[in-house]
Structure 1
């Protein structure tokens, strides 16, 4: 245009500036600004307001404010543009100060100004500021405006004040789809899934039509509740109403099915999606990890990388959890290397995931290194390391770390005490265990849960205090479950306390008569050498159709996790494995025979020498 000797006007320039804003093209916008100044538009209020918006959207809010202050004239659009610039950067105080200046300058705010202020209050969860704006809205009779009403609902929802959000919703004379979506999403995000589903039913009976945002929020509510039936109804609704199968809806369905434990359905949705983003892959990876399908999670992660999709922090945390549960140290190290090489922002969740992975893979030095490098240590970070030290038999070190945690001012929670009690269990620290257990309620106000009682029973059982453990269970303020009694029964097996073990077994059979209890009873009799009783229990298991679950083990070889089951023939290399096993057995027998011959000849030689 300029090359053709045409001159821009006050209509053309704002369009160009808006394009630069949308592209966040700071250098290009600065060039346009320089050209515009030559044409004498530096006093044009529309043009300069456009530049204020442009610089604010590119993060140069100080320069935007300088342009704003230099404007000879400013209308409501100019003021609102500058306030919106502060809102984009969540500058609450500056937004309100400018709002006051605006009113003192005699400019009446419009609904766009008000919506901007409500947005910043919601973004930073400034409930008091939001309530002040609400009172201004009421005083100026703006509460029935649907745009303002929707902004009010959003602000209260972001601040977690859903009763006020509901009240704002009811003040709107004819709520539209945005109104319903904002309210349903608010309830779902604030942990009120039942209310979100109820509102969805109301919405369907109103004039508003649900869209992909509504359905995504409602699917999230189903996922929170684990309500598979309602989730399937929503899936059918999507299909019957020909709603576009967008990435948002697909991701919502994958998340819902995964959280409800229907991984086959989640896989089906995933493979049917025409377009997948990082959230699609992450939803299924996380679903596999939560459903303990860890090898599938690793496989899908590799497939994702081959597809050229870059993992985000949530994907990496899920993968670290999979590696931790599998004990796949090599895979975990590769993920750690990826994080470093790609300069992934290491937030507290990613750092804690790395600590947990190294801890569970037995690599304590690396776990400690990451922990000490953390800028801020949250309770769950301390928990991961204390639990790791306890797991690997470093009970006293775990307790020392707990003392350091207390000195830093970090507040322990129920998980912390579970780790500390586990440390006492593995190190036989009975008196210390009692002290920590009692301090939970007396000093920290934490009510011990069934897991904490289980740790104490395990501690006493391992230390050989079986009668004391039984008495401890009898005095529990909550009903002991079969796991508590099973812990004591295991201790009876170790210490060969048959009589007590038989009494304990009766409790377990009453609560959960599964195959595990009969196996433990059988082991108890075997330890005591009572083979007739062993055969009797095994026969009883056969009559009841119970059988011992086959053992399973995992091993990582060259970065690949292999899974083996007792008497399993499903492994793709099972023929070669059993052939190698037969060879080893043969070599073992030969070695044993040679060893026996050697010992016999040595005995003869020594005997001959003795009688000489």
Structure 2
């Protein structure tokens, strides 16, 4: 380690002891030139030896160096220095609070602010309240932030643009954009930071119309947008895939010459890529005079988000050829592409790249690996990585639990949630949506209720996805009344909300109520029915014997809703006709299908033929079913049962012999039952 020289060499004849003033001057000069934490430690040690640790200015400089984002940043070291000062000045307090917000440690920032108030030696100023408001925004703590807002007003800082912008940003982070807007409108003077804060609030709530309207108004009153404003708008366009808005914004960027800023150019590339405009994204990328790892990440990440995962992996290879080293974000994004594609081999190659290049596998990268292996079906490897991680956050648990749900290992997912809860890691909306899906598949009502209670007790944000999952779980577990209650509580219903409730009513024998709800959806008109909606409605008609209505809904799909019927819709109509005994009409429909019937359609027809004694059509259905599903156990058993019912035992023997040749064994019937919150599986013959 290189040591610092604190004193110039002097001959014995000219030697005079250094005064404290001389030492202080040298210390301040060295602090000004300090570039590493090792050097700073030496300077600090020298200050201790020369009793300069009480020098307010010098110690303030040390804390400032340690709390500003740089190579010297260390809040642990800063706190150690700070705690040794008997009477810190306001600059030191502000540095500590600001440093904790840089570290994204809002609780530490707020506890430091409370300590400042308790000590009473210094009164908070503009910088104190602005940094504290930022901590409240990071924490999304509405009660705490509201209390800080009250202090701001009491102390007369509510007229300060800097502080007010911070409070506006806090309310935006809590989703209280109406409160933020009221504060903004009451501000006598507004700078670019204030405008950007309120615009960002609307963008965070996907209210692009109001965000862009404010952007236009901002420019009209003569406030010039900064790169934060422009990047926020571009990011919102990419997230919402608002391509035309993004194009218009890009034109303004070119008019004002903002594209020379690397962050803005990266955001343009990302916006086009997220909107799926690969040509425009590549064009903007190629025109950039300078590129860094963030540029490549913007392009690759945008392609992944828009579903162009193959293109994303191709760009990763080009990045390697350009001699730009992939960082943790690049690798994590590429792993996400592999997860979406189910490309386990490419995912393993990326895992090997991490190990070969000794890239630190922190919790962020570890989570990406867990997600990739889980989504690609290698749950053993996902579990192994999870167990070997020294630190696991909510995303680690969510990736593993979601993988087990996707792999139909529902009981395993629920047991991991129990372990997660005991580990004191709080589940988020994504975790709980996956778990509710597991409950829906198992019919585990007690578990579903327990998870619902967890949502309420832990004040988990009930976004639309979580509410939809609750509706679906209760409906599939037969609790229609509770499902309807939650359904009516959803303020902004989307197609998934309506589909879950319509499908739930239909599956529980409330076909007419399901159709009534569909009519209500149609009358309100906020949400357009999709292919899943029509499938649920036709299915509801099938369960209620409403043949004419079901055929009418099928015929109206293209004409009224612009939905081309798929094979699944034909399957629902075949099932409807078969249930009503209209087997010949069902066969006629199959013959006229614009696509090849699948095994489910032939199976549905075969079941109808068996019930209504149509042996001629049944044989044709059986032949097609065996042809399409040569190794499907259920198909062979269905055909065998048909022949047995008709007393054609030679044909039964032939089917059984065929199953033996193909080594297809009839699995015993399996059911699940939930007793005292524990899901038990049992098969035929169990006790």
- What is the CA-CA distance between 1:293 and the residue it aligns to? 0.5
Find the counterpart in structure 2 of residue 315 from structure 1.
Answer: 431
CA distance in 2, matches of 1:227, 1:473: 36
- What is the CA-CA distance between 1:547 and the residue it aligns to? 2.0
CA distance in 2, matches of 1:230, 1:479: 34
**Cα distance change of structure 1 residues 270 and 8 upon mapping to structure 2, 3 Å threshold:** closer
The alignment status of 1:33 with 2:125, answered yes or no, reads yes
- Partner residue of 1:223 out of 316, 325, 339: 339
The alignment status of 1:529 with 2:529, answered yes or no, reads no
In 2, are the aligned partners of 1:508 and 1:517 still within 8 Å (CA)? yes
In 1, are the aligned partners of 2:126 and 2:163 still within 8 Å (CA)? no
In 2, are the aligned partners of 1:114 and 1:148 still within 8 Å (CA)? no
- What is the CA-CA distance between 1:88 and the residue it aligns to? 5.1
- What is the CA-CA distance between 1:321 and the residue it aligns to? 0.7
The alignment status of 1:122 with 2:234, answered yes or no, reads yes
**Cα distance change of structure 1 residues 57 and 460 upon mapping to structure 2, 3 Å threshold:** same
- What is the CA-CA distance between 1:534 and the residue it aligns to? 2.7
Find the counterpart in structure 2 of residue 57 from structure 1.
Answer: 166
Higher relative contact order (CA closer than 8 Å, sequence separation 6+): 1
CA distance in 2, matches of 1:231, 1:36: 46
- Partner residue of 1:187 out of 303, 320, 330: 303
Question: Unaligned regions of 5+ residues in structure 2, if any?
Answer: 1-53, 65-88, 130-156, 170-179, 204-210
**Cα distance change of structure 1 residues 80 and 297 upon mapping to structure 2, 3 Å threshold:** same
- Partner residue of 1:196 out of 295, 312, 327: 312
**Cα distance change of structure 1 residues 560 and 101 upon mapping to structure 2, 3 Å threshold:** same
Secondary structure in structure 1 of the residue aligned to 2:674: strand
In 1, are the aligned partners of 2:168 and 2:183 still within 8 Å (CA)? no
CA distance in 1, matches of 2:351, 2:643: 54
In 2, are the aligned partners of 1:122 and 1:158 still within 8 Å (CA)? no
In 1, are the aligned partners of 2:270 and 2:302 still within 8 Å (CA)? yes
- What is the CA-CA distance between 1:249 and the residue it aligns to? 1.2
CA displacement 1:231-267 (0-9 Å, x = unmatched) = 1111111111111111121111121122222222211
In 1, are the aligned partners of 2:672 and 2:681 still within 8 Å (CA)? yes
CA distance in 2, matches of 1:509, 1:6: 86
Equivalent positions of 1:317-396 (< 5 A) are 317-396=433-512
- What is the CA-CA distance between 1:360 and the residue it aligns to? 0.8
The alignment status of 1:508 with 2:657, answered yes or no, reads no
CA distance in 2, matches of 1:501, 1:35: 81
- What is the CA-CA distance between 1:99 and the residue it aligns to? 5.2
Deviates more, 1:490-499 or 1:441-450: 490-499
In 2, are the aligned partners of 1:53 and 1:85 still within 8 Å (CA)? no
**Cα distance change of structure 1 residues 66 and 374 upon mapping to structure 2, 3 Å threshold:** closer
CA displacement 1:73-113 (0-9 Å, x = unmatched) = xxxxxx5555554565455555555556557xxxxx7xxx6
Equivalent residue pairs, number: 540
- What is the CA-CA distance between 1:177 and the residue it aligns to? 0.9
- What is the CA-CA distance between 1:277 and the residue it aligns to? 0.7
**Cα distance change of structure 1 residues 495 and 165 upon mapping to structure 2, 3 Å threshold:** same
- What is the CA-CA distance between 1:132 and the residue it aligns to? 5.9
Secondary structure in structure 1 of the residue aligned to 2:168: coil
In 2, are the aligned partners of 1:417 and 1:440 still within 8 Å (CA)? yes
- What is the CA-CA distance between 1:145 and the residue it aligns to? 4.6
Secondary structure in structure 1 of the residue aligned to 2:462: coil
In 2, are the aligned partners of 1:86 and 1:92 still within 8 Å (CA)? no
CA distance in 2, matches of 1:82, 1:127: 26
- What is the CA-CA distance between 1:278 and the residue it aligns to? 0.3
Question: Unaligned regions of 5+ residues in structure 1, if any?
Answer: 38-47, 71-78, 104-108, 569-576, 578-612
CA distance in 2, matches of 1:547, 1:9: 78
- Partner residue of 1:552 out of 670, 677, 680: 670
TM-score (norm 1): 0.80
**Cα distance change of structure 1 residues 273 and 489 upon mapping to structure 2, 3 Å threshold:** same
In 1, are the aligned partners of 2:274 and 2:302 still within 8 Å (CA)? yes
**Cα distance change of structure 1 residues 54 and 190 upon mapping to structure 2, 3 Å threshold:** farther
The alignment status of 1:406 with 2:518, answered yes or no, reads no
CA distance in 2, matches of 1:487, 1:186: 43
In 2, are the aligned partners of 1:86 and 1:95 still within 8 Å (CA)? no
CA displacement 1:402-422 (0-9 Å, x = unmatched) = 111111113211101111111
- What is the CA-CA distance between 1:538 and the residue it aligns to? 2.4
In 2, are the aligned partners of 1:52 and 1:65 still within 8 Å (CA)? no
Secondary structure in structure 1 of the residue aligned to 2:124: helix
- What is the CA-CA distance between 1:374 and the residue it aligns to? 2.1
CA distance in 1, matches of 2:60, 2:457: 49
In 2, are the aligned partners of 1:18 and 1:54 still within 8 Å (CA)? no
CA distance in 1, matches of 2:596, 2:622: 16
Equivalent positions of 1:477-496 (< 5 A) are 477-496=594-613
Secondary structure in structure 1 of the residue aligned to 2:606: helix
TM-score (norm 2): 0.71
CA distance in 2, matches of 1:154, 1:356: 35
- What is the CA-CA distance between 1:542 and the residue it aligns to? 2.5
CA distance in 2, matches of 1:254, 1:362: 34
Equivalent positions of 1:248-327 (< 5 A) are 248-327=364-443
Equivalent positions of 1:566-585 (< 5 A) are 566=684, 577=687
Secondary structure in structure 1 of the residue aligned to 2:437: helix
CA distance in 2, matches of 1:469, 1:130: 49
**Cα distance change of structure 1 residues 86 and 18 upon mapping to structure 2, 3 Å threshold:** farther
**Cα distance change of structure 1 residues 58 and 526 upon mapping to structure 2, 3 Å threshold:** same
Find the counterpart in structure 2 of residue 435 from structure 1.
Answer: 552
Find the counterpart in structure 2 of residue 605 from structure 1.
Answer: none
CA distance in 2, matches of 1:287, 1:193: 19
- What is the CA-CA distance between 1:142 and the residue it aligns to? 5.4
Equivalent positions of 1:61-76 (< 5 A) are 69=189
In 2, are the aligned partners of 1:466 and 1:488 still within 8 Å (CA)? yes
- What is the CA-CA distance between 1:19 and the residue it aligns to? 5.1
- What is the CA-CA distance between 1:452 and the residue it aligns to? 0.9
Find the counterpart in structure 2 of residue 594 from structure 1.
Answer: none
**Cα distance change of structure 1 residues 151 and 411 upon mapping to structure 2, 3 Å threshold:** closer
Secondary structure in structure 2 of the residue aligned to 1:562: strand
Secondary structure in structure 1 of the residue aligned to 2:621: helix
Secondary structure in structure 2 of the residue aligned to 1:242: coil
